[in-house]
């Protein structure tokens, strides 16, 4: 489920500039306690991709000084290969990393000592995105059609689940491996639909380009709801640097609330963090993303252990993990802000 594309919506001409806030002097945290420079906890955070709408809470926390006030110096970076994020966390080379709930469970099943400490985006963003001009109104209509896939194992499991849930026969759906050129393949009409694009990122840009689309969200079509993006850490880091993680998560939770309440502030923060971000669709991407960053329970970054267990069982059933793995055991909510637990 690694998202190492964004080739249509997030065109990056050069390397994104991701500059951490320099912390000097004093600032007050959310409880009114004064934080001095000497007590600041530095935290390295590897993103999953160049800064985009999914990272609105993080970048807002940094650019608006929220992290500094919480006594956290969050330094973000973009990995050359996002598939190494969990290894970086497990070995302590990065304090925190952004990854995906299914990927974290796969890692846990392999014995990699990592846990999710927060849910950055608490709903699936991956979706089946079909061309509306190809007569596709339900997932069953994908029978006889060609769906572009990146080629990762989860593609088939997700696609089959959605088609079967709609009463269709997955064996009648053709797939075509297009790598990570998913959206371009859809734009060019080389495929009738894709799976692997995000409904909050790719869809606004496709619409802006005049491509008629029909979106089938996974959680509405038979796939268990899961946290699309999570913040993870190595178990050793959780044990040795709990206060550093706690402060960073407090800042990100506050930043998420600020971003949701002030989309223009979030947009400015993202552009500053990633000057090469595609600005045309950014407002629409934020409009789609910000409402879902804080779940219905009002608790930014919160995670549901039972939900993780359901996902783990679904992955085992569909062969994405070869052994039983505990969903609840893959998360640690102890370092979340009190209001997010």
Q: Which two structure tokens, joined as six digits, stand for 213?
A: 């689309």
Q: Is residue 278 part of a domain?
A: yes
**Residues 335 and 263 both lie in one domain:** yes
Q: Is residue 167 part of a domain?
A: yes
**Residues 132 and 279 both lie in one domain:** no
**Residues 230 and 335 both lie in one domain:** yes
**Residues 194 and 264 both lie in one domain:** no
Q: Which of 197, 220, 243 is the last residue of a domain?
A: 220
Distances (CA, A) of 5 to 49, 231, 299: 8, 20, 30
Helix (H) or strand (E) holding 45: strand 41-46
**Residues 109 and 36 both lie in one domain:** yes
For residues 72 and 32, the answer to whether their CB atoms sit within 8 Å is no
**Residues 216 and 231 both lie in one domain:** no
pLDDT in the model for residue 38? 55
For residues 173 and 213, the answer to whether their CB atoms sit within 8 Å is no
Q: Is residue 16 part of a domain?
A: no
**Residues 291 and 305 both lie in one domain:** yes
**Mapping DSSP to helix (H, G, I), strand (E, B) and coil, where does residue 293 land?**
helix
> Could you tell me the residue range of the domain that residue 336 belongs to?
27-122+226-340
**Residues 160 and 280 both lie in one domain:** no
Flag residues of the chain having pLDDT under 50: 1-35
Q: Which of 193, 220, 247 is the last residue of a domain?
A: 220
Q: Is residue 183 part of a domain?
A: yes
Q: Is residue 13 part of a domain?
A: no
Q: Which of 200, 220, 240 is the last residue of a domain?
A: 220
Can you give the CATH number for the domain in which 62 is found?
Answer: 3.40.190.10
**Residues 233 and 116 both lie in one domain:** yes
| Residue 240 CA, distance from chain mean position | 26
Q: Is residue 7 part of a domain?
A: no
Q: Is residue 5 part of a domain?
A: no
For residues 208 and 283, the answer to whether their CB atoms sit within 8 Å is no
Express each pLDDT in 87-132 by its tens digit: 999 999 999 999 999 999 999 999 999 999 999 999 999 999 999 9
How many CB atoms are closer than 10 A to CB 55? 31
**Residues 319 and 285 both lie in one domain:** yes
**Residues 258 and 233 both lie in one domain:** yes
The C-alpha atoms of residue 117 and residue 110 are separated, in whole angstroms, by 19
The domain total for the chain is: 2
Q: What residue ranges in 141-211 does DSSP mark as E strands?
A: 146-149, 174-177, 193-198
Q: Is residue 14 part of a domain?
A: no
**Residues 329 and 294 both lie in one domain:** yes
């Amino acid at each position: 489920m690694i998202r190492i594309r964004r080739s249509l919506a997030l065109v990056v001409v050069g390397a994104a500039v991701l500059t951490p806030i320099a912390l000097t002097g004093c600032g007050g945290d959310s409880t009114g306690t004064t934080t001095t420079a000497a007590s600041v906890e530095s935290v390295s955070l590897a993103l999953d991709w160049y800064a985009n709408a999914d990272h609105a809470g993080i970048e807002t926390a940094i650019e608006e000084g929220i992290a500094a006030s919480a006594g956290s110096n969050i330094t973000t970076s973009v990995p050359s290969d996002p598939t190494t994020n969990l290894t970086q966390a497990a070995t302590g080379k990065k304090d925190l990393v952004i990854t995906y709930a299914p990927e974290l469970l796969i890692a846990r099943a392999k014995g990699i000592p990592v846990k999710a400490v927060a849910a950055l985006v608490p709903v699936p963003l991956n979706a089946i995105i079909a061309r509306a001009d190809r007569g596709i109104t339900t997932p069953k209509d994908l029978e006889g059609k060609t769906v572009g896939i990146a080629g990762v194992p989860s593609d088939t499991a997700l696609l089959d689940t959605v088609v079967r849930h709609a009463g269709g026969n997955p064996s009648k759906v053709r797939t075509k491996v297009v790598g990570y050129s998913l959206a371009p393949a859809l734009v060019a009409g080389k495929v009738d639909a894709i799976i692997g694009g995000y409904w909050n990122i790719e869809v606004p840009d496709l619409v802006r380009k005049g491509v008629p689309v029909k979106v089938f969200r996974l959680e509405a079509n038979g796939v268990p709801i899961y946290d699309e993006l999570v913040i993870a850490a190595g178990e050793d880091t959780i044990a040795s640097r709990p206060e550093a993680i706690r402060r960073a998560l407090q800042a990100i939770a506050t930043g998420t609330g600020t971003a949701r309440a002030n989309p223009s502030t979030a947009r400015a923060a993202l552009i500053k963090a990633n000057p090469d971000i595609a600005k045309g669709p950014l407002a629409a991407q934020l409009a789609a993303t910000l409402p879902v960053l804080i779940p219905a329970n009002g608790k930014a970054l919160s995670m549901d252990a039972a939900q993780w267990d359901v996902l783990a069982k679904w992955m085992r059933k569909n062969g994405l993990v070869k052994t039983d793995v505990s969903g609840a055991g893959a998360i640690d909510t102890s370092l979340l802000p009190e209001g997010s637990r």
